[in-house]
Amino acid sequence: MSCLAILSGLMIGGPVTNAQDPSPAKADDLPGHRYGRSTPLAKPDGGVRVAAYNVLNLFDPADDPTLDGEYDDLPMATSRDRCESIARAIKAIDADILCLQEVESEAALRWFRDEFLADMGYDHIASLDVGYYRGVEQSVLSRHPLSNATVWPEEDLSDMESRKTGDGWTSDGDQPTRFQRSPLMVDVEIPAEGGRDVYEMTVVVVHHKSGRYRRQRESEALQLVDLLAARMKKQKDLNLVVLGDFNAGPFDKSLAVYKDAGYVNAYEHRWSREGDTRDLFRTHESDRVIDYIMLHPNLDSEVIDKTFQVVGTLHPGDKYDWRKDDPPSGYAADHYPLVIDIRPVDVRRSRSR
Per-domain boundaries in the chain: 4-352
How high is the pLDDT of residue 327?
A: 82
State which amino acid sits at residue 178: R
Hey, is 84 helix, strand or coil? helix
Q: How far is CA 318 from CA 66, 115, 270, 286, in A?
A: 37, 32, 27, 9
* The CATH number fitting domain 4-352, selected from 3.30.70.100, 3.60.10.10, 3.40.228.10, 3.40.1260.10: 3.60.10.10
Element (H, E) at 347: helix 347-352
Q: Averaged in consecutive runs of 10 residues, what is the pLDDT profile of the chain (353 residues)?
A: 34 40 39 85 96 96 74 78 97 98 97 98 97 93 98 96 72 86 98 92 97 92 98 97 97 95 98 92 95 98 98 89 86 97 83 46
How high is the pLDDT of residue 20?
A: 43
Angle at the Cα of 36 from the Cα atoms of 344 and 110, rounded to 5 degrees: 60
How high is the pLDDT of residue 322?
A: 83
SS3 content of the chain, % helix, strand, coil (to 5): 25, 25, 50
Q: How far is CA 119 from CA 87, 91, 113, in A?
A: 11, 9, 9
Phi/psi for 340 (5° steps) reads: -145, 150
Give exposure, 85-123, as e/b (b: 16+ Cβ within 10 Å). bbbbbbbbbbbbbbbbbbbbbbebbebbbeebbeebebe
Task: Tell me the C-alpha distance between 225 and 227, whole Å.
Answer: 5
How high is the pLDDT of residue 73?
A: 67
| Cβ contact 302:237 at 8 Å | no
